[in-house]
Homo-oligomer: A and B are copies of this chain.
């Protein structure tokens, strides 16, 4: 339907909430971020992703998954681990990752 929204099934499912503040370092960030979304979307159990970043450099990306096992497999993916290393080393000033079980969902306007 509307651009930007993940088309998730009915709950329960899982969300990986990744809140981050970027450094000033570019060095391939945009290409890597795009590649990771593309790669994630091919993984077993991937349900969708929503992502936004404001002009102040603070951003939130939420990926949705069918199970905790799917999340663990994605975290351990070799190409994803390379991206994670870049994130730790140069791209993120700070980040918080929260793994959550979606229990209820609804949409609007109603």
A residues neighboring B (CB under 8 Å): 1-6, 8, 11, 15, 17, 19, 21, 50, 52-56, 58-60, 62, 87-89, 92-110
Closest CB in chain B relative to A69 CB, distance in Å = 14
User: With A56-B4, A60-B60 as given contacts, are A87 and B102 in contact (CB-CB < 8 Å)?
Assistant: no
Cβ A89 vs Cβ B105 within 8 A: no
Cβ A106 vs Cβ B97 within 8 A: yes
Cβ A98 vs Cβ B15 within 8 A: yes
| Contact partner, A98, options B54, B92, B105, B109, Cβ 8 Å | B105
Cβ B102 vs Cβ A88 within 8 A: no
Cβ B62 vs Cβ A52 within 8 A: no
